[in-house]
Amino acid sequence: MINLIHALKNPQAFISQAMQNPQISNNPIAQNAYQMMQKGDSKGLEQIARNLAKQQGVDIDTLRKQIGI
Amino acid sequence: MQPFVNPNYFNPYPMYQQPQIQPQMPSYAQNIVHNGLEGKYVGEFSEVTANDVPMTGQGALFIKGDLSEIQLRNWNANGLIDIKSFKPSISEVEEVSTKSVEHAYLPSDELRMALENINDRLDKMEGLLKRKPGRKEVAEDD
């Protein structure tokens, strides 16, 4: 819970700290997403999120419609 | 019919429930971790879910129950799962080896030509040898 509050206060610092965790830093998706975040590539980040959802059998567009976003 | 239990009744001897330990039977689709390699046996590859593939950067091996195919699945940097499929090729190897052995016993064109030449010459020599006694016979008759 405390971690979540810290993350909301300064998400960039939280992610930078998280990237020092070997379990996360060894993850190719996290590495790519982190690099995209540093470059400000929001479209690339969205694509990663879409791909991850697709692999789990979730279509983001359908989900957005269901939620009403 | 269940016996009536009065909730207000104070039981001085509380019943202790013994935790029931269920023996864990190894299931067919149990994950295997061997020397850092993750994976499991599957009946069909459609049984494999995204959660079965670790996000550690290493892939997981999925082996078909009949050993007809092995798949290596790993997450790529774009958030998609890459699949590499491996199939046995034992029968093909055997076929090639038999062919190569057969081919080794077949004479080459040059060798075949040389053999034909030798056979022709042998036939000619045989013909000559057959003719000679005939002539003698003719001469004797004369």
**Residue B134: pLDDT over 60:** no
Return the DSSP state at B61.
Answer: E
User: Residue B82: its pLDDT value, please?
Assistant: 94
ipTM of the complex: 0.72
In Å, how far is B107's CA from the nearest CA of chain A? 58
| Chain B interface test: which of A27, A31, A39, A41 (most B C-beta within 10 Å) | A27
| Least Cα separation, residue B67 to chain A (angstroms) | 25
Separation between Cα atoms, residue B18 and residue B41, nearest integer Å? 35
pTM: 0.52
- Over the stretch A8-28, which tens digit does the pLDDT of each residue have? 677 777 777 877 888 788 888
Question: How many angstroms separate the Cα of B5 from the Cα of each of A6, B1, B77?
Answer: 51, 12, 61
